Amino acid sequence: MKLDGKTYKQVQEALIDAFPSYNNLKRMVRFTLNKNLDNITSSQNNLSDATFDLIEWVNSQSKLPELIDGACQENPGNELLKLCHQEIFELNKNTELNKNNFQKF
Per-residue pLDDT tens digits for 45-94: 999 999 999 999 999 999 999 999 999 999 999 999 999 999 887 766 65
pLDDT, average across residues 1-19: 89
pLDDT, average across residues 20-47: 96
pLDDT of residue 20: 97
Cite the DSSP H helix spans in the chain.
5-18, 22-33, 47-60, 64-74, 79-103
pLDDT of residue 102: 43
As a whole number, the mean pLDDT across the chain is 87
- Whether the pTM exceeds 0.85: the reply is no
Q: How far apart (Å, rounded) are the C-alpha atoms in residues 82 and 76?
A: 8
Q: How far apart (Å, rounded) are the C-alpha atoms in residues 41 and 44?
A: 8
3-state secondary structure of 61: coil
Q: How far apart (Å, rounded) are the C-alpha atoms in residues 84 and 57?
A: 18
Residues 70 and 64: beta-carbon distance below 8 Å:
no
pLDDT band at 5 (very low <50, low <70, confident <90, very high): confident
Domain extents in the chain: 5-103
